[in-house]
Amino acid sequence: MLTSLYIKNYALIDELSVSFNNGLTIITGETGAGKSILLGGLSLVLGKRADLSQVKNTAEKCIIEASFDLGNYNLKALFAELDLDYDVQTIIRREILPSGKSRAFINDTPVNLERLIALSKYLIDIHSQHQTQQLTQDDYQFKVIDALAENQLNLEQFSNKLTAYKSIQKALEELKGSRAELIKEYDYNLFLSKELTEINLEKINLEELETQYEALNNVEIIGEKLSSSKSILEAESLGVVDQINLIRQELSKIESFGPSYETLKERIVSIGIEIDDILIEIDNLDEKLATDPQELEQINYKLQVVNNLFQKHSVSSILELNAIKTELKSKIDNTESLDEVISLKEQELVEVEGHLNKIALKIHKKREQVIPVFVSKLELILNELGMPNAKFKVNLESRDAFAANGKDNLQFLFMANKGSNFNELKKSASGGELSRIMLAIKSILATYIQLPSIMFDEIDTGVSGEISNKMGEIMKQMSTHMQVFTITHLPQIAAKGDSHFKVFKTDIKDITHTQLKKLNEEERVVEIAQMLGGLSITDSALAHAKQLLN
């Protein structure tokens, strides 16, 4: 239940702090006094979008803080699910900064609006005048019936299965849609893959092939240059070998004259040995040198094929060609197994559809069972609210297609008077009748849903006299199950409250401020007397007020 509310720098409120008790709490005040401001502040702390225009002094931050006693409402699991620290005395704080940004905290833990709203819907139901119109909408009607039918678990299971069903359905549609395109590409992909397979990419060393090609393609030049090199080295008197030997002989004559000369001679000897090795290598290479036109042609063919593949696939390496080959194989395999994949998906879809139908049937049966009970209770309460001839009918029909909440069509039909016909609620109920119907439904729901608090914003609109007295009694009865707030202009309802607050405006230094005050017994008498007879309080109005309170 809501135990306290603190508002600072919001709309016409400078600073306001108020505590609440259990039972039925009445809030009254003249039109324009600021009751909507109070509701707006409470809505803001429960997750409504923030707006800088709501801030009284935009140079300072706006703070709204609400405290809730959650001891009797089994919300620990919800806090764990939302990754929040649970506290029996939970405090929610909302701030609007001068920059226009807003922040929210639950038990001092910063939270986003999504988590705040997820929690707040389990704390208090703010029934605005606009919500009465929701009664004529399908979604709200389903929520009412499903709450009474205790269908929450079934609906969660259905929603999860429906998400899976739609995902499989989408995947299947995409597979079937791409099937024609894949089949069209299949022959071409098969041709490309065959090209890459035949060249045997795994055994191709491009660098080695190019080296072999250069050697075979230039065999005559290579032989000529090897021969001329050998001649230069071995030519008599002018050959490099003879010249090196002469240098070695000359240095041998002076090597004993010092280490430097000995070292120089050894270096010449090393050069001679190296040149002898070079001569042997030239002879070896010359012997191996052979012209093989057939091998040259084969190597040239391989290189041309590889280069053509490079150009065709816009790559520059064997590694990239191998990657393309793997990708093509995958596409070919996918196309060849596509019918099997589609068949498996279709089978999976049928299985999930079967599960959905079973859950939808459970939901339907529970709705069927609770509808007669709901209609009976609703008509009984409406009779007490001055609608003795009101009749309700709830049509529940199965449909073929899946909806978000099952496979049903639901329709609330209403007949206000004898001799008339049942018609849709939005066409057959007046504003005052809708208010009474909504209150009746809320009172029924109060015994099914363990919600800590509910706030009615002028749900008594369009009613008066004895009917308003009955509405007050219903709200009083509801307050035995939950904390009930009601904003009202009717003295008959105001007199039913366990506590009574008045919203009023004051002008301080030519600035208007909204304030909230808890009334004592004497002040309640005066307030209800004014609600009965206006600002000029008569003895009869006071007597009537006391009579209502007693």
pLDDT confidence of 2, banded at 50, 70, 90? Answer: very high
pLDDT confidence of 380, banded at 50, 70, 90? Answer: very high
Least confident span in 116-120, 228-232, 495-499: 228-232
Q: Which two tokens stand for residue 356?
A: 């959905």
In the predicted model, what is the mean pLDDT of residues 101-112? 93
102 vs 534 pLDDT, higher one? 102
Alpha helices (H) along 203-258: 206-217, 219-234, 240-252
Model confidence at 6: pLDDT above 60: yes
- In the 8-state DSSP scheme, what is residue 112? -
265 vs 112 pLDDT, higher one? 112
Query: Domain residue spans in the chain?
Result: 1-130+449-519, 199-336
Give the model's pLDDT for residue 286.
66
* Helix/strand/coil for 15: strand
Answer for the pair 427, 442: CB distance below 8 angstroms, yes or no. no
473: which strand partners? none
Four-point Cα dihedral 179, 184, 185, 188, nearest 10: 150
Q: What whole-number distance in Å separates Cα of residue 34 and Cα of residue 40?
A: 10
533 vs 180 pLDDT, higher one? 533
* Helix/strand/coil for 417: coil
Dihedral pair phi/psi, residue 389, rounded to 5°: -100, 0
Q: What is the CATH number of domain 1-130+449-519?
A: 3.40.50.300
Alpha helices (H) along 65-151: 76-81, 113-120, 129-134, 138-149
Q: What whole-number distance in Å separates Cα of residue 432 and Cα of residue 436?
A: 6
Give the model's pLDDT for residue 56.
87
Give the model's pLDDT for residue 34.
79
Average pLDDT, the chain: 85
In the predicted model, what is the mean pLDDT of residues 114-143? 85
* Percentage of the chain modeled with pLDDT above 90: 39
Give the model's pLDDT for residue 140.
87
In the predicted model, what is the mean pLDDT of residues 475-480? 91
Give the model's pLDDT for residue 132.
75
CA Rg value for the chain: 47
pLDDT confidence of 226, banded at 50, 70, 90? Answer: low
Who's near 420: CB < 8 A, 6+ residues apart? Answer: 428
pLDDT confidence of 291, banded at 50, 70, 90? Answer: low
* Percentage of the chain modeled with pLDDT above 70: 89
Model confidence at 64: pLDDT above 60: yes
* Helix/strand/coil for 456: strand
- Residue 517: exposed, middle, or buried by beta-carbon count in 10 A (0-12, 13-18, 19+)? middle
pLDDT confidence of 510, banded at 50, 70, 90? Answer: confident
Alpha helices (H) along 385-499: 425-428, 431-446, 465-478, 491-494
Model confidence at 218: pLDDT above 60: no
Give the model's pLDDT for residue 213.
61
Dihedral pair phi/psi, residue 105, rounded to 5°: -135, 140
Nearest to 472 by CA among 528, 539, 400, 404: 528
What pLDDT, in 10s, does the model give residues 395-413?
A: 999 999 999 999 999 999 9
485 vs 550 pLDDT, higher one? 485
Give the model's pLDDT for residue 181.
73
pLDDT confidence of 269, banded at 50, 70, 90? Answer: confident
Four-point Cα dihedral 78, 79, 83, 87, nearest 10: -170
User: Which secondary structure element, helix H or strand E, spans residue 86, and what is its range?
Assistant: none
Answer for the pair 348, 168: CB distance below 8 angstroms, yes or no. yes
Give the model's pLDDT for residue 3.
94
pLDDT confidence of 19, banded at 50, 70, 90? Answer: very high
Model confidence at 276: pLDDT above 80: yes
pLDDT confidence of 340, banded at 50, 70, 90? Answer: confident
Cα end-to-end span (Å), the chain: 27
Angle between helices 219-234 and 259-288 (to 10 degrees): 150
